[in-house]
Amino acid sequence: MARLLVCEDDDAIAEPLLRSLARDGHAVDLAVSGEAALSAIAACPPELLILDVGLPGIDGIEVCRVARRSHPALAILMLTARSSELDEVVGLDAGADDYVTKPFQLSVLLARVRALLRREGSGGRLEASGVRVESDARRAWRDGRELELSPKEFDLLALLLGNAGRVLERDRIMHEVWDENWWGSTKTLDVHMGTLRRKLGDPSPITTVRGVGFRFEAE
């Protein structure tokens, strides 16, 4: 099951689409304007955004640009109505991952959604508190800004983010990031944690739990 956000102002399209996606086993939210979509993404980023181009207020093209900046690895599938819209979508710098032209068959759209979600699941992508990690590519971002991390800082961040909301004991972090037979001083952990926090910037998503370890805040 994946968490999806559909941004579509036309009920006649949104309703059957939401029903089909729910039948496919997904948790689906609906936003009926570009503004609503951007707030929903900021509050709780979905795995996939299905985004209509023609929206009242902020249009789908602009929503795509903004969402891309804040969530570089978010999968975006755009719905286009006219060929002029299609040109814009295809020419989009921080492009959509895929697009479907209206009118579309639901079966076609569902197949595209499955393909995008398979790709999404394969990259080892993690995200919380505005921090995104792609384990396969060994890349990380904070609020859309790519971070330059040393290998250990990256491993540390991926471990913490993969356990967002839970406290990780210092020993466990040492064993998983450094060496499973590591029994020495944990000063090196504090040094790396310090540089990682500095690179992540403020507010720090990592909380020190005194006498125990660290917790990456889930939101």
Binding site for Ca ion (CB under 5 A): 9-10, 52, 54
Instruction: Report the residue closest to Ca ion, judged by CB.
Output: 54
Minimum gap (Å) between residue 54 Cβ and Ca ion: 4
Minimum gap (Å) between residue 146 Cβ and Ca ion: 33
106 vs 212, beta carbon nearer Ca ion: 106
Burial (CB count within 10 angstroms: exposed 0-12, middle 13-18, buried 19+), residue 112: middle
81 vs 115, beta carbon nearer Ca ion: 81
Q: Rounded to whole angstroms, how far apart are CA atoms 199 and 154?
A: 11
52 vs 153, beta carbon nearer Ca ion: 52
Minimum gap (Å) between residue 14 Cβ and Ca ion: 9
Q: Where are the alpha helices (DSSP H) in the chain?
A: 11-23, 34-43, 60-70, 83-90, 106-122, 151-162, 170-173, 187-200
80 vs 129, beta carbon nearer Ca ion: 80
Query: CB–CB of 81/54 below 8 Å?
Result: yes
Minimum gap (Å) between residue 77 Cβ and Ca ion: 15
